Amino acid sequence: MVVECVWKHSSATGDGSKTFILLLASLLRLIHAAASKESNVSHSYSSTKAAEASTARHLADKLLAFGLKELDELIATGVVPYGGCISWEDFTVEAQTPSLTNNLCVQKLLRSFFHTRCGYTHCDFSSHLTCELLSHWKFKNQLPSFSLQLVSDYFPALHTPVSGFPVRSSRLIEGQVIHRDFATPPLKTDHQPVKAVVLTGSLQPTLLSTGDVLELGCRGRMKEERSILHFSSWMESSLQGIIAKLQTLGVCVLLSAVKQSAAVLALATQAEMCLVECVSEDELSLFSQLSGTTPIWDCSMIESEHVATLAFCRPIQLGAHRYVHVAFQDSEERITIKPCSLIICAPGEGQIEQYACALQDAIRMLLRTWEPMHAAATTTSKSTLQSHKGASLHTDSLTEQTTYRSIAIQPIQKCVLKPGCVLSAGGLFELLLHYALLQHGHSCSVSPDLNIDASVSQLLANALLSVPQKIYSHSPHHFLESQRRVISFVSKFPNDSHPFSLVYKRENTISPIQVEGPLGDGELSLHCCREGDKLSKVSELDLGLESVSCKYQLLLAVLQCVASLLKVDAVLPTHTALHTQSCRLTRTSWEGTEDEGED
């Protein structure tokens, strides 16, 4: 159950597995301790253990209800004002120097993500490659979630693994790579515009399916043979007519979802048409999206809207495999988009899979970052590929500080969970929310009717500290000092939304979260660097940014997992192995079911 919860959350947000386990373990320990101290044991239970289990379930349900009802507002008022919004324009990296690119907010967000997934060596390269990829997929007059959703959905078709090369050989290439080879000789004029058609069925007419019987009207052996010859001749002439119609429309590239017959291959070769068979559904769907054409099932009904005009269609050798490489002509509908494919290189296949998963999860993380977390947060709604709703983003300004290399982030004016909210990494989210939960519990304790809310917020606040405690486990003094400084900063400036800079690194120095006084025009600096501290591998985790919305979804997922776990009354051993698929979240619901374990 726990693995399923972690997998489901990481599939949605792209990250957070380790933090999920830390929070889950901390909550279960605190709930167990609170249930054990409960003195009012009801006589409806036969034992103290049953009473403790009931109390634990009650606390878990209260935590989940609290998270669904009030957690977003607490984050909006207690965390978001001390963060900022990153801009979709930060993905434009074409005219920027490497030094300036390193200061982009999105680069910082991706860098901290890839640091935990791919290691420190290639995190900068991976973040820059991701930004470059997304800068090519920016649609005109569309929200960021539209482009991110498209890249996420079609990522298997957009990337090509190539083993035997270093990771830094990974690159972008123009157009789309179709992961099949030509079934007929490729075109000789591979640099000229060509016309293509997407086929979802067989090009040759099929009147009979498997198991059908052909009844001939004439009797006699000679007449039957003549009828069969007439039927075969009709089939061949129909196929020739289809090929002639395709030639009339200027089509010379056929992309087929199925394997074509030998007759089709022969006639296509004779007509100097190149045919690509057994193309995957995702690749054909992406091709149709980019070319603006509609796939055709019956080629006898083909019209001009089924014909796509390509800039070129030629073979491409990537590693040990040869594929089909196509590029699309520019259109007015997508002036800003420049379709490209991602070539992921690594010495071995396992490393390629690791980097490909990390890149796809990074895109999922960015998608969740730009999705509004509450209906009140949206200012503009538009439908995306899968009816996602988004909000308009603010344009952020990049400023240079004289002492530190910093990022000036536009402050959030309203206390709502807007798209693009980010915060300094390294436990700052948990520390800010911990303080906000304590303040909420204190305000609720004033009213006797809200005591249960006070205890719930206190429990969740204590559980959150397990994350920064783990981050600063190498130095408990740094954890206590960071907690003190955050509380001091929030107490001094409660929800004032002062503009400030997130500063990450000075030359060869780094330290935990530190707060300093005003900088210039009333600006505050909440940063992770301090002169005199030595750079260490552990403190590298403090660099970068993290998504507020992903953190919010992580908390909800953990609370749901806790509530589901504590609904299990007992684990019954069996002598026969059970089918694990029947216990998967995608098929059965935990609520109202009895869980059994293997012997």
pLDDT in tens, 2-57: 999 999 999 999 888 999 999 999 999 999 999 888 755 555 666 778 888 888 99
Place of tokens 């500290």: 465
Res. 476 pLDDT band, cuts 50 70 90: confident
Q: Does a structural domain hold residue 36?
A: yes
Res. 225 pLDDT band, cuts 50 70 90: low
**Could you tell me the residue range of the domain that residue 447 belongs to?**
1-84+420-499+544-567
Kindly report the backbone phi and psi dihedral angles of residue 346, in degrees, each rounded to the nearest multiple of 5, phi listed first. Answer: -165, 160
Res. 545 pLDDT band, cuts 50 70 90: confident
The maximal CA–CA distance of the chain, rounded, in angstroms, is 104
pLDDT in tens, 289-304: 999 899 998 877 888 8
Radius of gyration of the chain (CA): 30
Instruction: Return the higher-pLDDT residue of 378 and 266.
Output: 266
Task: Please give the structure tokens belonging to residue 358.
Answer: 């990390």
Res. 177 pLDDT band, cuts 50 70 90: very high
71, 113, 145, 176, 361 from 368: Cα distances, Å: 17, 14, 8, 26, 11
pLDDT in tens, 566-589: 998 888 888 776 655 444 444 434
Q: Does a structural domain hold residue 33?
A: yes
Q: Does a structural domain hold residue 15?
A: yes
Q: What is the mean pLDDT of the chain?
A: 75
> What average pLDDT does the segment 386-395 reach?
30
Task: Please give the structure tokens belonging to residue 320.
Answer: 């040990």
Res. 510: pLDDT tops 60:
no
15, 140, 163, 166, 354 from 350: Cα distances, Å: 19, 37, 9, 13, 6
- The whole-number pLDDT of residue 53 equals 87
Compute the C-alpha angle 231/235/238, nearest 5°.
135
Res. 412 pLDDT band, cuts 50 70 90: very low
Q: Does a structural domain hold residue 509?
A: no
Res. 597: pLDDT tops 50:
no
Q: Which residues of 416-519 form beta strands (DSSP E)?
A: 421-424, 500-505, 514-519
Give the global pTM.
0.77
Res. 592: pLDDT tops 80:
no
Highest mean predicted confidence (pLDDT) among 70-74, 139-143, 272-276, 515-519: 272-276
One-letter amino acid for residue 315 of the chain: P
Res. 210: pLDDT tops 70:
no
**Cα–Cα distance, 490 to 492 (Å, whole number):** 5
pLDDT in tens, 126-170: 999 999 999 888 887 777 888 899 999 999 999 999 999 999 999
- The whole-number pLDDT of residue 171 equals 96
Q: Does a structural domain hold residue 71?
A: yes
Residues 6+ apart with CB under 8 A from 129: 170, 171, 172, 342, 359
Q: Look up the CATH number of the domain holding residue 436.
A: 1.10.560.10
Q: Does a structural domain hold residue 562?
A: yes
Place of tokens 């009709």: 234
Res. 348: pLDDT tops 90:
yes
How many domains does the structure of the chain reveal?
1
Q: Does a structural domain hold residue 80?
A: yes
Q: Does a structural domain hold residue 155?
A: no
Q: Tell me how crowded residue 466 is: count the other CB atoms within 10 A of its CB.
A: 19
pLDDT in tens, 255-265: 999 999 898 99
Question: Which among 235, 242, 287 has a CA at the least distance from the CA of 268?
Answer: 242
